[in-house]
């Protein structure tokens, strides 16, 4: 069978893409940033000339980006074929203008507008995106989840005869071998969030940090053997309320290696995120056989965490989170309405359900083990495994 070469012009250090490039199907070869390497060699030979060209190119890019920003248009990348080496398709995180067929890889629809979500309100922008995606030049759209796929189809009103191009390719990782922790009297809970560069406490609310702290405060008097490890920034006024709680470890940030060591020590992973389009942390927790409690926020969480199988998918009472057709509403993301509403309105029903589900896992060690093993098994040979993903890719390109 013919070997397929897919050129990847953009650079990404995301674990989902690294896993894809490092563990491809037998019939696919990914060509990463080869153009830049060749350009680098030319720069050594003709430094002055290429520096001038580089400056012209940078000016052109600034003008181009300014124009698409003013007109609320999607980013379009021009890529011309080269005689230096051969490739069959281009894999991109944006729209491609060129002679070769290309494939879009998209976490969600905001990808094609460089996460400038307000552009999705422009009918012209949506029309251009649709035109590119239904064209013959676009081979496939690799959506990270069913939720992402549905968002594209519904938002762009993709005709039924073109919907087959939208394929769900779940990002995944290879489960590593690890030693189980030695038993002690504690049942350890883990919550992880990153620090948002623009708004410091943004992820505290968006990832459900307040919900986790409130649940722990309610449950700790009843279960003396509980311990919470909380990673992420906490607003000072809220931290004062909880810093004297017994058996709580607060960490602002941990390295990836330290975090993976921590996964081995904990018993339950708490990730009640309200706004993740995918959530790679779910996979990391499953790789370490941890049961998970998340929130049914109508994005990919219910796909990654199977309710009553690998964890609990908690229902929320917050009406502003119930999006039509799983869409990311542009105004709510761009203007931070998500964040503003979460600060104002506490998820009372969500907290009650969260505590109820958490108690079940605290009380039942066998249930924790069962959920954890089920989750890891999905990564080994289930629908979240590298083998499953590669079989799908193989079938797409076998002819």
Work out the pLDDT band at 45, boundaries 50, 70, 90.
very low
Residue 253 within a domain: yes
Q: Based on the fold, state whether residues 220 and 85 are members of the same structural domain.
A: no
| Interatomic CA distance for residues 114 and 111, integer angstroms | 5
Query: Quick check: 238 pLDDT over 70?
Result: yes
Residue 178 within a domain: no
- Paired residues of 32 in beta bridges: 8
Work out the pLDDT band at 80, boundaries 50, 70, 90.
confident
Q: What is the pLDDT of residue 33?
A: 67
| 21-35, 247-261, 329-343, 354-368: least confident range | 329-343
Give the residue with greater pLDDT, 207 vs 348: 207
Q: For the chain, what is the largest distance between any 2 Cα atoms, rounded to a whole number of angstroms?
A: 72
Q: Based on the fold, state whether residues 158 and 32 are members of the same structural domain.
A: yes
Taking only the tens place, the pLDDT of each residue in 173-192 is 888 887 777 778 899 999 99
CATH of the domain at 240: 3.40.50.2000
Q: Based on the fold, state whether residues 227 and 333 are members of the same structural domain.
A: yes
β-pairing, 166-168 vs 101-106, is: unpaired
Q: Taking Cα atoms as reference points, which of 351, 375, 311, 301 lies closest to residue 144?
A: 301
Query: Quick check: 71 pLDDT over 90?
Result: no
Work out the pLDDT band at 315, boundaries 50, 70, 90.
confident
Q: Based on the fold, state whether residues 148 and 67 are members of the same structural domain.
A: yes
- Paired residues of 166 in beta bridges: 141
The count of other CB atoms within 10 Å of the CB of residue 397 is 18
Mean pLDDT of the chain: 85
Residue 180 within a domain: no
Q: Taking Cα atoms as reference points, which of 164, 198, 19, 171 lies closest to residue 107?
A: 171
Work out the pLDDT band at 47, boundaries 50, 70, 90.
very low
Q: Based on the fold, state whether residues 230 and 359 are members of the same structural domain.
A: yes
Q: Based on the fold, state whether residues 195 and 95 are members of the same structural domain.
A: no
Residue with tokens 């998970």: 292
pTM for the whole thing? 0.87
Strand, coil or helix: 319 = helix
The total of structural domains in the chain comes to 2
Q: Based on the fold, state whether residues 162 and 198 are members of the same structural domain.
A: no
| Interatomic CA distance for residues 174 and 168, integer angstroms | 19
Q: What is the pLDDT of residue 319?
A: 62
Query: Quick check: 327 pLDDT over 90?
Result: no
Query: Quick check: 271 pLDDT over 90?
Result: yes
Q: Based on the fold, state whether residues 255 and 376 are members of the same structural domain.
A: yes
Q: What is the pLDDT of residue 167?
A: 96
Give the residue with greater pLDDT, 134 vs 206: 134
- Paired residues of 167 in beta bridges: 142
Residue 179 within a domain: no
Residue 182 within a domain: no
| Interatomic CA distance for residues 94 and 363, integer angstroms | 48
Q: Taking Cα atoms as reference points, which of 94, 81, 96, 77 lies closest to residue 136?
A: 96
Top-ranked range on mean pLDDT: pick from 49-58, 60-69, 372-381? 372-381
Residue 181 within a domain: no
Rounded mean pLDDT, 114-127: 86
Q: What is the pLDDT of residue 73?
A: 85
Q: Based on the fold, state whether residues 374 and 391 are members of the same structural domain.
A: no
Domain that holds residue 216: 187-381
Query: Quick check: 339 pLDDT over 50?
Result: yes
In the chain, which residue ranges form alpha helices assigned H by DSSP?
A: 15-22, 34-45, 47-70, 123-134, 146-156, 202-206, 209-219, 236-242, 256-263, 280-287, 301-304, 330-334, 337-344, 348-363, 365-381, 386-397
Query: Quick check: 235 pLDDT over 80?
Result: yes
Helix axes 280-287, 365-381, angle to 10 degrees: 110
Work out the pLDDT band at 37, boundaries 50, 70, 90.
very low
């Amino acid at each position: 069978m013919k070997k397929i070469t897919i050129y990847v012009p953009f650079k990404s250090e995301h674990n989902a893409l690294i896993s894809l490039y490092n563990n491809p199907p037998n019939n696919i070869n990914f060509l990463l940033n080869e153009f830049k390497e060749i350009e680098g060699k030319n720069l050594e030979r003709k430094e002055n000339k290429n520096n001038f060209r580089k400056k012209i190119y940078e000016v052109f890019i600034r003008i181009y980006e300014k124009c698409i920003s003013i007109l609320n248009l999607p980013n379009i990348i021009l890529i011309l074929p080269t005689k230096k080496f051969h490739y069959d398709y281009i894999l991109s995180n944006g729209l491609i203008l060129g002679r070769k067929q290309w494939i879009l890889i998209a976490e969600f629809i905001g990808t094609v507008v460089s996460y400038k979500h307000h552009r999705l309100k422009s009918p012209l922008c949506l029309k251009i995106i649709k035109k590119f995606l239904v064209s013959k030049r676009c081979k496939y759209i690799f959506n990270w989840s069913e939720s992402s796929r549905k968002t594209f189809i519904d938002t762009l009103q993709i005709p039924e005869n073109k919907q087959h191009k939208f394929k769900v390719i779940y990002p995944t990782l290879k489960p590593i071998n690890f030693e189980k922790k030695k038993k002690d009297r504690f049942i350890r809970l883990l919550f992880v969030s990153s620090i948002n560069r623009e708004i410091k406490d943004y992820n505290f609310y968006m990832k459900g940090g307040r919900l986790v702290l409130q649940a722990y405060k309610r449950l700790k008097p009843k279960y003396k053997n509980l311990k919470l490890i909380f990673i992420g920034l906490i607003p000072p006024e809220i931290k004062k309320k909880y810093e004297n709680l017994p058996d709580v470890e607060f960490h602002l940030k941990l390295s990836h290696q330290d975090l993976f060591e921590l996964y081995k020590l904990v018993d339950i992973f708490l990730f009640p995120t309200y706004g993740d389009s995918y959530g790679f942390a779910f996979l990391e927790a499953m790789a370490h056989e941890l049961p998970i409690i998340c929130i049914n926020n109508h994005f990919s969480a219910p796909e990654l965490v199977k309710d009553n199988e690998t964890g609990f998918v908690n229902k929320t009472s917050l009406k502003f989170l119930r999006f039509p057709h799983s869409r990311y509403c542009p105004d709510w993301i761009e203007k931070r309405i998500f964040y503003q509403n979460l600060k104002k309105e506490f998820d009372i029903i969500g907290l009650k359900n969260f505590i109820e589900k958490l108690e079940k896992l605290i009380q039942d060690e066998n249930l924790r083990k069962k959920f954890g093993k089920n989750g890891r098994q999905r990564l080994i040979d289930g629908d979240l495994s590298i083998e499953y993903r590669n079989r799908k890719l193989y079938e797409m390109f076998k002819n």
